[in-house]
A and B are shown apart, each in its own frame.
Chain A
């Protein structure tokens, strides 16, 4: 779903002068134009813009708008905004998740989280470290795969499917498959060949468990990011590449000076997507390590969950979720702003 606007955007953008807004904005723009061309334009074409006709047109425009946007707004309201608001309310209470008594405690939850909860800080540190490494790994691999597939390979379509496949499997299932590979598969290979890499207690040690999760995350995400990068690469104007070749630019220079700047909007999207996925990681480490060994791979999302539902501190859990939301929002916003500035105008 998220890929679609980008593809449309990049294609139609080519001969557009305005590239600053990036793909999604361009898509929105086309949409806006379409609706603007509608009833109002027709009324004018009729020659006699009578008042009732204008009012009718306005009404029908409003109806069309409601009919299309209404269901989405309603769902968004019901399953996102209202729970979010309720969550903010609970973060100022000491509710345990079951009782009918909900006591207002003001900022106590936040005070406790920030001053007396080293585990939350630890899980934040792990998540931050993981996000940096995992985003780098999955984007480098994703772009690499995209470049490879974009070449005139014969098996291009098959490869594209194969690389994308891990993304179709749910994270939880993927985690359990890889848990088997790490615990049983690697151990079997290790005992047969005595290669040290396979003999490591992969999920039993804090360091290797971290890398195990990074590996599975990259394996799952890079295929998805690849699709976005492929779309961007196909949007690069061939005449520019040809011109650079005629000018005697090396492959590396072409890549660095022409291709990469032109696909900068894809970087914005891919970094944003992989970053928010990595930040919110839950299913992979739940199934791979369960947060262990000794809480070393406990992500913030897991910490929030166990605070609210295992420790029965629903209020504190909500407060943690709120803090987490603010941090993720700030970081991803900063990322989008910075990488947007790097997108070029053609």
Chain B
């Protein structure tokens, strides 16, 4: 009897294991009806938001950790104004972590209704999941160039810019004054002179974070690509083999900017990570920082009264070297297979068209809007500087989104090796070209 009892218990265990697998399979296969049906009989009524009755739920999956709480607050206001639509927001941060999670969701048949996309190569990769947004009311308000990353060859638009970001060398105005720098550098020679003055005054000129691949591999290297006469054409030529990195004049000059930052660097730049780098700058230990407007809140946490401005990243002394980098780092995209495409589209439109959405964007998230109908006067001084550079045509695009996947990490490795003194500059350029050829 005892044996049979034991047997019974373990059989129940087995049955539970089997049924658990079975039910999870069910969930994966029929995710959408299960999610919208919710035990009530009205499974068919929930397709459009205007139908009234049962509200539809759209799932937003986004990667901006720093706005997660404020985003929830904005969602509440949206739901109050649109009782037919419920929004479930989920945030997973960090470059690759987000993409992995997104791939897993789609592979499980549970793709979110709205998600983020970096544009260009990433848009191509995800294109078969993206809904066409070309007919949306906000399209006519896009600032020039801000929609390019999400446009395909036919000119159809597959995403709505989340924000604009700009970076260059952020500088501490007080430390510059202390070192007696009266004229802001706009050329390489000017930058070197300013760095020398800072050094003479006993101030560390640059806070370099060479241990982060994205600081050096994407943001820094982007300057050499962006300074080309025709950045997009240059990338096309690299892919065709019509141009090479080692034979390019700008890339040769780019060594001078790299050497300048190394010569006037903080200690151990190769082990300095993002946090340490920003802390060095924010605590007044270094005068310049290669970062953008996204570090403002981090700086504010350490010293809210820090006087910050932005300088261009010059590769030479020519006229066009006085430019910062600015562009659209991320976009909102709608899942074209979603059961609630219209609801998702109306949420996106609300974010940039309604008074509340616009208020959240500039005042709460601190985003620089990519739309001409959103007021920018509430932005921080640094963000307004970036808008000014952008409006004056003194901004080069964020072009790394068009590089082959993974190239930025290889560029970072080559530049780190150079910074460590292991290889010469021509080897750096050869390595870059080699990585491009393998990954393209």
Provided the pairs A99-B125, A312-B125 are in contact, do residues A292 and B14 lie with their beta carbons within 8 angstroms? no
Chain B interface SS verdict (over half): helix
Tell me the count of chain B residues lying within 8 A, CB to CB, of chain A.
38
Instruction: Give complex CA distance A161, B129 in Å.
Output: 52
Q: Which of B7, B21, B404 contacts A64 (CB 8 A)?
A: B7
| Chain B interface residues (CB < 8 Å from chain A) | 3, 7, 10-11, 13-14, 17-18, 21, 96, 99-100, 103, 106, 125-126, 128-129, 211, 213, 268, 270-271, 273, 276, 404-406, 409, 412-414, 416-417, 420, 422, 438-439
Interchain residue pairs A-B with the least CB separation, the first 10 = A204-B270, A311-B406, A67-B10, A204-B271, A294-B417, A294-B413, A294-B416, A295-B413, A71-B17, A311-B405
User: Residue A238 at the B interface, CB < 8 A?
Assistant: no
The reply to whether A60 and B420 contact each other, CB–CB distance below 8 Å, is no
State how many angstroms separate the Cβ of A120 from the closest Cβ of chain B: 11
The reply to whether B422 and A294 contact each other, CB–CB distance below 8 Å, is yes
User: Residue A293 at the B interface, CB < 8 A?
Assistant: yes
Show 9 A/B contacts (Cβ-Cβ < 8 Å), sorted by A: A67-B13, A116-B438, A183-B271, A183-B276, A204-B270, A290-B213, A292-B213, A294-B416, A312-B125
Query: Which residues of chain A are within 8 angstroms of B10 by Cβ–Cβ distance?
Result: 64, 67-68
17 additional contacts, CB 8 Å, given A66-B14, A71-B17, A313-B405?
A60-B3, A63-B11, A67-B11, A68-B10, A71-B14, A74-B21, A75-B17, A201-B268, A204-B271, A206-B420, A292-B270, A295-B413, A306-B409, A310-B406, A311-B404, A312-B125, A312-B406
| Chain A interface residues (CB < 8 Å from chain B) | 60, 63-64, 66-68, 70-71, 74-75, 78, 96-100, 116-117, 182-183, 187, 201-206, 290, 292-295, 306-307, 309-313
The reply to whether A309 and B99 contact each other, CB–CB distance below 8 Å, is yes
Q: Which of A99, A201, A292 contacts B413 (CB 8 A)?
A: A292
Q: Which of A63, A98, A117, A309 contacts B106 (CB 8 A)?
A: A98
Query: Which residues of chain A are within 8 angstroms of B409 by Cβ–Cβ distance?
Result: 306, 310
Question: Who on chain A is nearest to B271 by CB?
Answer: A204
Query: Which residues of chain A are within 8 angstroms of B268 by Cβ–Cβ distance?
Result: 187, 201, 204
Provided the pairs A71-B17, A292-B211 are in contact, do residues A97 and B413 lie with their beta carbons within 8 angstroms? no
State how many angstroms separate the Cβ of A72 from the closest Cβ of chain B: 10
The reply to whether A293 and B11 contact each other, CB–CB distance below 8 Å, is no
Query: Which residues of chain A are within 8 angstroms of B276 by Cβ–Cβ distance?
Result: 183
Name the residue in A187, A202, A310 with the highest tally of chain B Cβ atoms < 10 Å from its Cβ. Answer: A310
State how many angstroms separate the Cβ of B312 from the closest Cβ of chain A: 28
The reply to whether A117 and B438 contact each other, CB–CB distance below 8 Å, is yes
Query: Which residues of chain A are within 8 angstroms of B100 by Cβ–Cβ distance?
Result: 309
Provided the pairs A201-B271, A292-B211, A295-B413 are in contact, do residues A60 and B13 lie with their beta carbons within 8 angstroms? no
Question: Who on chain B is nearest to A191 by CB?
Answer: B267
Query: Which residues of chain A are within 8 angstroms of B3 by Cβ–Cβ distance?
Result: 60
Instruction: Give complex CA distance A75, B20 in Å.
Output: 11
Query: Which residues of chain A are within 8 angstroms of B126 by Cβ–Cβ distance?
Result: 98
The reply to whether A71 and B13 contact each other, CB–CB distance below 8 Å, is yes
Query: Which residues of chain B are within 8 angstroms of A187 by Cβ–Cβ distance?
Result: 268
Name the residue in B106, B126, B420 with the highest tally of chain A Cβ atoms < 10 Å from its Cβ. Answer: B420
Query: Which residues of chain A are within 8 angstroms of B213 by Cβ–Cβ distance?
Result: 290, 292
The reply to whether B14 and A96 contact each other, CB–CB distance below 8 Å, is no
Name the residue in B18, B21, B128, B270 with the highest tally of chain A Cβ atoms < 10 Å from its Cβ. Answer: B270
